Structure 1
Amino acid sequence: MPFLSHKDVEHRSFDYIIIGGGTAGLALAGRLSEEPTISILVLEAGPANFDDPKISIPGFFGQVFGNPQYDWAFKSVKQKNTNDKVFVERRGKALGGTSTINRCCWSKPPKTDIDAFERLGNPGWTWNEFIKYSRKSETFYAPTQEQLDHYPLTYDLNNRGISGPIQTTLAPHTHTIDKIMQETLANKGVRPNEDPYDGDILGGWIATANIDPTGWKRSCSASAYLQPNLHRPNLNVLTNALVSRIVFSSELNENGDRTASAVEFLFGDDDRTCTVNVSREVLLSAGTINSPKVLELSGIGRSEVLSSIGVETLINLPGVGENVQEHLGNFISFELDESKGVVHETLDVLKDPKTAAKHLELYGEGKGLLRTSLSSLCFLSIQQCNLPDTPSFIALAEKEATEVKAKGILGLSEQVDIWLEHLKDKNEPDFEIVAIARYMTPMSIPPDPSKSYFTLLALMNHPLSRGTIHAQSKDPRVQPLIDPRFFEREIDLEVILQEIKYIRTWKDVEPWKSGVVREVDPGPKYQSDDELREYIRNDTRTQYHTIGSCSMLPRDKQGVVDPQLKVYGTTNVRVVDISIMPLHVAAHLQTSAYAIGEKAADIIKATLA
């Protein structure tokens, strides 16, 4: 078996050490292990959690949030623009990373969002490359005839992978809210998107899920890229290993670059410090929150940050922990009409122990609610909403873009130009609406538990605000200081405001008009723009889609890695996770993580020739 103890790896040498066995890290490990001549060690801070029903059963998503066996539960500093709220950032702490605890939504960014990476100075990072590697990661299963009889699900097999490790399909349980939402959108003039996996995501559609229909289990990087390859003798895994730093040799090469020689980590409950040597490369896949921390504890980053925690600066790289971007969203809950005998089977019924037990039994038979995931989605531009204050919204965007560029932050001006260009284009998505088949608004409880409710998530995709993530202690057990600076730029809040106002225009459109009784939260007490802004500040939620802390940009524009994902100033350290994404995208991010892992593996394999 490839699972080792710290005694098995201490002072040994491996060709490649992967720091972090998460979504991208295990995709990378699985692909590299296809080369039998190289040895690979994965260091994962969490446990294995293999075949755990809290992970494998899709309908259980959210149940492990806050449980330290599964969730890092990082906390931000108080955010002044959200009335000093502290945000909890859910991240998977186990083999498989956040792919073990997400909502199984398999969505891909628009073509222009990915092509922007190349425009920012990264040759080869284009949509064509992305879709090649995304397809390589996926095996898609078409919906059954039973599903098609129930709902007209559409897809294009030309856009889907047919032989990749991650198993995907359309979730088998289609809620009545799918019909209400998608038909209302169509009647509002929104185009039904028959397959949003070709780079065009505008319109209303039903999302694919990373669920394996042969057993209706979650398909994650641990189950897809690691477990099938455990027989390979060159693939080694050590869990419960918290990396404290990358160790560099004292010699510099002719360009003044440093070479990593080892990785130090804390192991087990007694936090014993161990060292493992590396002969080829260190591949950092600890995620957007932990990857910059590991670099800083290793002496790579802003010199003022490093000196503040007592770490010697080996490589002055000011972009580490900067350019942080996150999706924010607000929940809006509704009561469903059941007066005409329509039964809305929402996930709230699982709160009843007897009903939950019934559905667990049904799940064992390949039936029931627990096979579900996020389903109905809609991506729109502001211009498509035809709201009366759209011109003033665009004027505010132009004003704020000018203000941000005037600050002269290295590398940000080009990002802002692309951001504004996309915002003003009616064919580029500015926001996302997600239907969730349960009551989700945190400000209240369901007024009448005997009735059925559902929630829309109004989600902002392309933030102008930028935050930071930095180590705040030399002790690797101390979480980094996370300051996303939410709503630092007013336009981010205004996107969500426009989105809520657009959703409220649905009330006079069928089948929404006859299928929805009322809006519960924010409800009638929030009517004016200022009232809604206060609602947004108080109840906005992070979507756990943080990127940018190790941005792939030119070094003189606060870049951390080059287009080969190599950390500037090093000869053999790469970052392979979504922290390298320099500009945010309109998508849930696991597909991007897998594509990055797949592409990185090919980049590295090319060096072996």
Structure 2
Amino acid sequence: MPLLTTPDELTSKAFDYIVVGAGGSGATLASRLTEDANVNVLLLEAGGVHYDDPVVDIPAQFAATFLNPKYDWGFPVVKQACSNNVQHVWPRGKGLGGSTSMNFLCWIKPPSQDVDAIERLGNPGWNWVDFQKYSLRAETFHPAVKEITDSFPHTYNEKNRGTSGPVGVTDPIHAYTADKVFIDTLVNKGVKLLEDPYGGEVTGAYIASNNVDPRTWKRTYSASAYLHPYEDRQNLVVLPNAYVTRVLWADEKDAERNLVASGVEYIFGEQKLTVTASKEVILSAGAIKSPHILELSGVGKPELLEKLGVDAKLDLPGVGENLQEHHFASVVFELDTTKADHQTLDLFFNPEFAKESIRLHAEGKGTHRTGITAFAFLPLTSRAPEETSAAIGNLEKDIKDRIAKGEIPPALAKQYDIQLETLKDKGLPDMELIAFPGFFGAREIPAPGKRFLSILVMLNHPISRGSIHAKTDNPQDFPEIIPNYFKEEFDTKVLVEHVKFVRSLTEIEPFKSNCTEVQPGPACTTDEQIADYLKGIHTTTFHTVGSCSMLPREDGGVVDSKLKVYGTKNLRVADISIVPLHIAAHMQTTAYAIGEKGRFNSSICSLQ
């Protein structure tokens, strides 16, 4: 695989496909396309190359790349009026591998019903059966080691695990005592311990796999899995540091009056250059940049494009709309080290310990071998069933009233119908809890020597919708990101119920004997106080979807079920921006599945 350091060689090359963005979907799709020796692909990535970079490769360095411009775009977010006017920043991966090179190593799959809902919204073939087929192509699974199985009743089902994919996935090498406290408490509370959360049933508690290769104990990310091993593949050309600004269009439309993509314009250093594609252009630039590139290419709301001074080529008002984002906060507990030797990630606050752990990693030992592992996905009614059922009923009434008044358009009403079904189903999850074995708080770091367990509470199915749009016609200006956090009051209610459920664990062993709450602390008691705490500290979970929704065009869709942009002959979007309704899962497995499906199933995405 030629990895170019300059674009000079591109002037004499012809490409069938141009893929924009080398993240989870883009690197996967480009690599799989070029398994056909007769297909030539150019992969353009705006960031650099991080091969053999220990900050990327070595696990357990959570957020080490965040806000570092070498690795992270650090997209600013508009201050959120319904979220204490806090100024958020969205970290996103910059370089070959995209956000798979900087995530928290969580290998998670959604509930089957969430994936089937995508098909129900008008996308034939986008269902759980197909999702499972293509996600399995991405992974090679390595079962848990004896240290884990000795500590946890750890089981798995072989049919739910891939055996020959590029992404190395392993159950964690290290069993944290804090994880065991969390899982055992949930089981004692009556939460189901799952046999295997990778077959479409995720409601319950479990120890998750990580995208780590146990042969090296290094992170496996899209570039290391799908690109680096194929350096000799001559029909895949990769150009890093190539910032795509817009899609180029042929002078003439096709017979159906569709726009025809002829290539892309990109910036390399001080140069503005172009390159052509004979077959297709595929945007895999992520949920923030794919809609941004579309708008700068003249695709979107004509009135917005006119204000920007961009020539409107295609009226497609769904571009940048229907934005949905997971976000989370933490409830922090101090662990009683007299009850157990709680070895948590707090030890990394000691520079000598961290240095020694890095040294041990080179020998295949130590703490730097694992990601986040202990999870629970639960129905909202797990917390005070009568109270939460009443809240769901009030939400349903409010939505129906607003639909009747014309305040909620029919397309969004279809999504809300499915969300209400999920909320009312006592077997489907709307709450996500993660045990982070260490201090994960927004306030001052406590005194050295203490050990903590932070329970992260995640909003998985937001009712609020936001948007991402270009602010200027300068492609290097960041787009305007408006997630509308907590605009819908029910989202606040859901996260408040998360916190109250977490606090109920302090009445149950072994949580009761091991954990004392420090954040938000005993002074925070009422729902209003909890909500204020959450709005002050919550942050992105890096799982943005919906900004190029795969929906019928009349429902605000940007792409059809073959991932083709409406009104074009040969422009596609293949990344998690196409997901039209959010799912209860961390998104990297889904990103890989989109890339795999785009290549292998020509009846769905005829990229061959």
Q: TM-score range with shorter-chain normalisation?
A: over 0.9
Partner of 1:590: 588
Q: Distance in 2 between matches of 1:69 and 1:97?
A: 12
Partner of 2:538: 540
Partner of 1:61: 62
Equivalent residue of 1:371, what SS? coil
Deviations 1:61-111 (A, max 9, x none): 311100011001001101001111121111100100000000000000000
Cα distance change, pair 486–573 in 1 and its aligned pair in 2 (3 A): same
Give 1:522's aligned amino acid: P
1:319, CA displacement in angstroms?
0.2
Q: Distance in 2 between matches of 1:45 and 1:117?
A: 30
Deviations 1:503-525 (A, max 9, x none): 11111111111111x10000111
Q: Distance in 1 between matches of 2:107 and 2:185?
A: 23
Number of aligned residue pairs? 604
* Contact kept in structure 2, 1:325 and 1:547, CA below 8 Å: yes
1:388, CA displacement in angstroms?
5.2
In the TM superposition, 1:425-436 aligns within 5 A as: 425-436=425-436
Q: Distance in 2 between matches of 1:101 and 1:547?
A: 18
Give 2:42's aligned amino acid: L
Q: Distance in 1 between matches of 2:25 and 2:561?
A: 17
Deviations 1:185-215 (A, max 9, x none): 0111111111110100001100110000001
1:159, CA displacement in angstroms?
0.6
Partner of 1:9: 10
Matched, 1:465 2:446: no
Equivalent residue of 2:593, what SS? helix
Q: Distance in 2 between matches of 1:179 and 1:64?
A: 29
Q: Distance in 2 between matches of 1:394 and 1:69?
A: 44
1:250, CA displacement in angstroms?
1.9
In the TM superposition, 1:66-465 aligns within 5 A as: 66-268=67-269, 270=270, 272-340=271-339, 342-387=340-385, 389-403=387-401, 405=403, 406-446=406-446, 448-465=447-464
1:391, CA displacement in angstroms?
3.3
Cα distance change, pair 569–281 in 1 and its aligned pair in 2 (3 A): same
* Contact kept in structure 2, 1:12 and 1:277, CA below 8 Å: no
Cα distance change, pair 465–607 in 1 and its aligned pair in 2 (3 A): closer
Equivalent residue of 1:435, what SS? strand
Q: Distance in 1 between matches of 2:336 and 2:398?
A: 42
Q: Distance in 2 between matches of 1:497 and 1:38?
A: 52
Q: Which moved more, 1:365-374 or 1:576-585?
A: 365-374
* Contact kept in structure 1, 2:46 and 2:95, CA below 8 Å: yes
1:409, CA displacement in angstroms?
2.5
* Contact kept in structure 2, 1:551 and 1:580, CA below 8 Å: yes
* Contact kept in structure 2, 1:120 and 1:553, CA below 8 Å: yes
* % same residue: 46
Deviations 1:267-316 (A, max 9, x none): 02x2x100101100001000000000000000100111111111011010
Give 2:573's aligned amino acid: V
Give 2:551's aligned amino acid: L
Cα distance change, pair 366–34 in 1 and its aligned pair in 2 (3 A): same
1:607, CA displacement in angstroms?
4.3
Partner of 2:553: 555
Cα distance change, pair 537–472 in 1 and its aligned pair in 2 (3 A): same
* Contact kept in structure 1, 2:383 and 2:500, CA below 8 Å: no
Give 1:114's aligned amino acid: V
* Contact kept in structure 1, 2:91 and 2:542, CA below 8 Å: yes
Q: Distance in 2 between matches of 1:153 and 1:352?
A: 32
Q: Distance in 1 between matches of 2:234 and 2:12?
A: 19
Equivalent residue of 2:368, what SS? helix
* Contact kept in structure 1, 2:46 and 2:94, CA below 8 Å: yes
Q: Distance in 1 between matches of 2:398 and 2:263?
A: 45
Runs (4+) off by over 6 Å: none
Equivalent residue of 1:204, what SS? strand
Partner of 2:502: 503
* Contact kept in structure 1, 2:147 and 2:175, CA below 8 Å: no
1:149, CA displacement in angstroms?
2.0
Deviations 1:534-571 (A, max 9, x none): 11111111111100000000011100000000000100
Equivalent residue of 2:503, what SS? helix
Give 2:508's aligned amino acid: V
* Contact kept in structure 2, 1:21 and 1:95, CA below 8 Å: yes
Q: Distance in 2 between matches of 1:16 and 1:443?
A: 48
* Contact kept in structure 1, 2:599 and 2:607, CA below 8 Å: no
Q: Structure 2: where are the runs of 5+ without partners? A: none
* Contact kept in structure 2, 1:11 and 1:276, CA below 8 Å: no
Cα distance change, pair 493–108 in 1 and its aligned pair in 2 (3 A): same
Q: Distance in 2 between matches of 1:604 and 1:305?
A: 35
Equivalent residue of 2:274, what SS? strand
Partner of 1:576: 574
* Contact kept in structure 2, 1:192 and 1:204, CA below 8 Å: yes
Cα distance change, pair 400–589 in 1 and its aligned pair in 2 (3 A): farther
- TM-score when normalising by structure 2: 0.97
Q: Distance in 2 between matches of 1:430 and 1:368?
A: 35
1:12, CA displacement in angstroms?
4.1
Give 1:347's aligned amino acid: L
Q: Which moved more, 1:404-413 or 1:109-118?
A: 404-413
Give 1:437's aligned amino acid: P
Give 1:509's aligned amino acid: I
Cα distance change, pair 357–90 in 1 and its aligned pair in 2 (3 A): same
* Contact kept in structure 2, 1:22 and 1:96, CA below 8 Å: yes
What is the CA RMSD across the aligned residues, in angstroms? 1.4
- TM-score when normalising by structure 1: 0.97
Partner of 1:480: 479
1:116, CA displacement in angstroms?
0.4
